Each structure stands twice: as C-alpha cells, then as structure tokens.
Amino acid sequence: MAGPLQILRVAMVDDEVPLGRAVRRILTKFRVHVEDVGVDVGYSCFTFTTAEELFQSLSEGAEYDLLLLDLKLPGMNGLDVLNELRRQNRSLLTIMITAYATFETAVEATKLGAYDFLPKPFSPEELRYSVRKATNHLVITREARRLAEEQRQVRFNFISVLSHELKAPLNAIEGYLKILQPEEPPERRQLIDRCLIRLDGMRKLIFDLLDLTRIESGQKARQFSEVDVRTIAQRTIELFTPEAAERNISFTLDAPEPVKIIADPGELEIILNNLVSNAVKYNRENGSVTVVLRRNEDMVTIQVKDTGIGLTPEEAAKLFREFVRIRNEETLHIMGSGLGLSTVRKLAQLYGGEASVESKKGVGSTFTVALRDANTSSADGAEATSSVTLTAPPSSVDLAPENSGVATPSPGTVPRE
C-alpha cells in the first residue's frame, strides 16, 4: 500500500552539464518506498556547476535534503564544500560522485560527513541504489528524531503537571509543621526539623526535574551574549562562601584575565553553581576549592577542584547519569536529587563540549567542563531552543552520579567526467 508522498530536494554539484541533466531526468521519475516508516519518497533535483552557485542558493534561503557532490570542481573542490557546510552548520546528506577518489580522499570525506561514494561511470541503476540507500537513512533518521522530540515533550508535560500538583501539598505540609514547631517540646521539635529538611529536599527534586526536562524539550529560547565567565565564577563563589565558611573551606579563583564566551549567562550559572556546590558539599573540614578558567582558541574550560572525599573509579564511572547518587558512609548525610551533574553534561553538549571528572578516593576530585561559543546564527531555530535559562536554587545540585574533459559515455551508463 502506498504511503504519503514526501519530496526530497536534491542538489547536484558537478561541472559537467550533460551529467547533471541525465541525473535530473532519472531522479525526477524515481520513487522510493521507505517500508519502516510507511512513506513514499519522490525527488526534486537542482543542478549547479560550481560550489559557489550552491552556496549562493543556500544563502538565499534554499534548503536541500540530499547532496550529490563532485570531488573535482573549478574553484572550491568537494572537500572544501564539506568543510564549508560543516562550518555553516548545515546538514546535507552527501553522496560523493567522482572518478578520482583515492583511499585517502575517501577517508577525509567520510570524516567531514560524506555518507556514501558513487564512482564514475555509473549506471542509472547504480545511481538509484545509492540514492535509495541514502533516502532510507535520511527518512528513518528524521522519523527517529521526531519521535524522540515527541517523547521529550510528553515527558516535560508530565513533569510539569506532576510538579504543579506536588507543590501545593508540600507547601501546606510545610506551613502546618512551622505552626507546630515552636509549640512542641525539644525532642518533638527535632522530628519536625527533620521533616522540614526532607520537604526542602523534595522541593529541590521538583526544581531539578523541571530544569532537566526544560533543557531536553526546548521550552524557552536561549539568550546569547558575550559573557565573562570569570565574573559569573566570582558571583558563584560569593554565593557559597557562607556555607563553606561554616566548615572552614577556602576558595581560590585561578583566572588571570577575563574569559569571554558567547553563551547564555543563565546556563553558565547553572554549570558553575552545580560544580561549586558539589565541591563544597563533598569536601572535608578545612578543605579548599579551586576554580580554574581558561580560553584556548575556540574552547573555554571550567575546572573545579576540591580536596574532598573523592571517588573510586567505579563510582566516577556512574556520574553524569540521571538520578545517580554515590551511596556510602561518607555521603549518607548529604541531600540531593542525583540530577545536578546530568544537567551539567546536557548543557555542555549543547555547546559542543563535554563534562568529565578525575578523582581519587580520599584525595579529591576535579570536574572539567569544556564549552565552545554558541552558534548564535541558529538562535531562533530548534537547535538553539533545546535549552532554557534555569532557575533552580543552587543547593539543588547533587553529586550525581579536479577536472578532466568530458568522456564519451558508454551505453547504459551516466557519462563519466
């Protein structure tokens, strides 16, 4: 049974005009049925003789799904095109078509994002086979992304409703306990105090869940600007200084000069608040916390070092997962939701970076977050709205865990370059 028809826009860049015409005739009549998704796919083909023509078209707002790209072109060659597409953060599933591919160029093109190679001369059936394979990959990948996004939205809606329903009874319980608190004898007052602490932990868990689902579902556009990470780190240290002073924990900020990055300031605060809060909570009496900030070319690194209880290799491997907390005798008294570090990692990945930890049991831990400048050109698109400015209290974080002439075509084949 035929499914709904989707039209994929195919851009072909080849300086041989007859070849482009032949491919366009073939693809215009071609149909592919993607069985796993249940759709039929047709093609609209656009031909360009130079890479510059393609990028001019893209700059004018044209969008393409598949790219048939010659390696040897006047001006920019095929590898240059792949590099420029990556720089512009454009996603085109690319099939390289050339008679001059070597193993080295094939490896380089694959690293730059090429999906497949189609050597010249090729028959119409070989062209259809390559395009059919790319089409199945593209359509199924898009459907998987759509379902994942739908799942994230369902999760966010569920958490939002659940959080709303939980806040009212928690506030009521807290209010009644505070009314009873001064009237009770000391021994019962201790029980009430413990209940209030647990209520505060539940409220923080709600905030953390909302933060995490907002990041995943893209409920609010991110506000990008040039930010000095050192300034945010200074504010974070000031925020946690009273808590650290109670246990005589000292702070050091190692940032000899401003560290600038294009980012959402709220997201940087979330990262630093999580890391510094953990460094204080899991530290020892009379310990220290060192925050190191550096900019190296296009990468900003944030390191938070502590002299705390540390982690075993097995414990460190569990971190950054949702709801993971390290349970041992030294952490039993420390409250948390197990979501803080997973939030940090998700934010780091939105900036093309990563979060990691190095730790030694009984010595301390070093958490490192690497970030690149945000791609402000996509600030209004889906990629840019995959995160939000978060507002959870800082204490809600947790230690969670080349071109020749035209050759005469042989019968039944598309002309060779």
Tokens 């050339």 found at: 98
Question: In order of start, what are the domains of the chain with their CATH numbers?
Answer: 5-147 (3.40.50.2300), 220-396 (3.30.565.10)
Coil, helix or strand at residue 118: strand
- 334 and 414 Cβ atoms separated by less than 8 Å: no
Q: Mind spelling out the 3-state secondary structure of 358-379? A: EEECCCEEEEEEEEECCCHHHC
Summarised one tens digit per residue, pLDDT across range 205-232 is: 777 777 767 776 666 567 899 999 999 9
- 277 and 339 Cβ atoms separated by less than 8 Å: no
The torsion angle over the Cα atoms of residues 154, 157, 163 and 164, rounded to 10 degrees, is -150
- 120 and 416 Cβ atoms separated by less than 8 Å: yes
What proportion of the chain, given as a percentage, has pLDDT over 70? 82
The residue type at 183: E
Reported confidence tier of residue 286, pLDDT bands at 50, 70, 90: very high
CA dihedral over 181, 186, 189, 190, signed as positive or negative: positive
Summarised one tens digit per residue, pLDDT across range 11-70 is: 999 999 999 999 999 999 999 999 888 889 999 999 999 999 999 999 999 999 999 999
Q: What's the average model confidence in pLDDT over 227-240?
A: 94
* 326 half-sphere exposure, CB direction, 13 A CA radius: 25
The residue type at 307: T
Which strands sit side by side in the sheet containing 299-306, from one edge to the other?
A: 250-254, 288-296, 299-306, 364-372, 354-360
Residue 351 DSSP class? T
Please give the structure tokens belonging to residue 380. Answer: 């209004």
d(Cα 257, Cα 291) in Å, to the nearest integer? 13
